[in-house]
Amino acid sequence: MSEDITLRSCRYETKGVWDCKYQRIYNSVPAIRPVPAKMPMIDQNCYIMNENPHGLQKAIFHLKEKQLDLQVIYGDDRDNNLPFDFTRPMHAQDVFNKDISLHLQEVVTYAAWQDENTLRLTLFYIETPYTVTYTIIFKNELIDFQFNINVSLNIPEYTAIGELMNVQSRS
């Protein structure tokens, strides 16, 4: 059932609001995929982002076994470390910009490699209808960092280019 049909049916049935939200998340959960054998070496890599509508300045990746921490640097209260696991969902807190103010929100995060160069990170904001997807395409020393949101809140979707600031030894 598509998300749109699910939400419409929730409006006309006697389901509770939480039942509808969890049904939306359940229907949208990304499939767990194996980590590619030839994935890029991203641990401790810091990418300086070009100008973008959200003001994202840096994206830093910390990889340890099946877990990934994405450190996002905006230079304000939105700076955060987002935890991901390639084998299961994770719970975290994230700052969400809504109604011209910042709100700390509980999120459930998922990480999945789409292919050996494309990483998709999904965040479900539990107390809201919002789902954010970061699709990151690794291209040698550059990344395409794509931001998508499922609900328009005058928050623009964008793609930014990031350039590798540091090169780790690849021994």
Kindly report the CATH number assigned to the domain that includes residue 132: 2.40.128.20
Q: Are residues 21 and 75 in the same domain?
A: no
104 and 48 belong to one structural domain: yes
Beta strands in 5-157 (DSSP E): 45-49, 58-64, 67-73, 80-85, 90-98, 101-115, 118-125, 131-139, 142-149
When the pLDDT of each residue in the chain is averaged and rounded to a whole number, the result is 84
Q: Are residues 68 and 114 in the same domain?
A: yes
- Taking residue 47's Cβ as centre, other Cβ atoms within 10 Å add up to 25
Both 23 and 50 in one domain: the answer is: no
Q: Look at residue 95 and give its three-state secondary structure.
A: strand
Answer yes or no: do 68 and 6 share one domain: no
Residue 90, domain member (yes or no): yes
Same domain assignment for residues 4 and 68: no
**pLDDT confidence of 51, banded at 50, 70, 90?**
very high
Structural domain that includes position 52: 43-164
Is a pLDDT exceeding 60 seen at residue 3?
no
At 149, the pLDDT band (50, 70, 90 cuts) reads very high
Strand-strand pairing, 158-164 and 142-149: antiparallel
Mean pLDDT, residues 18-23? 54
Does 99 have pLDDT greater than 90? Answer: no
Asked if residue 24 is part of any domain, the answer here is yes
Q: Into how many domains does the chain fold?
A: 2
Query: What tokens appear for 114 in the block?
Result: 């789409």
pLDDT surpasses 80 at 1: no
Average pLDDT of 102-123? Answer: 95
- % pLDDT > 70, the chain: 80
Do the domain assignments include residue 35? no
- Res 6: pLDDT: 45
Closest C-alpha to 145, from 66, 50, 69? 50
| Nearest to 78, CA basis, from 58, 108, 63, 48 | 58
Q: Which residue has the higher pLDDT, 109 or 20?
A: 109
Q: Is residue 35 exposed (0-12), middle (13-18) or buried (19+ Cβ within 10 Å)?
A: middle
170: in domain: no
Question: Does 116 fall in a domain?
Answer: yes
Where does the pLDDT of residue 108 fall: very low under 50, low under 70, confident under 90, or very high at 90 and above? very high
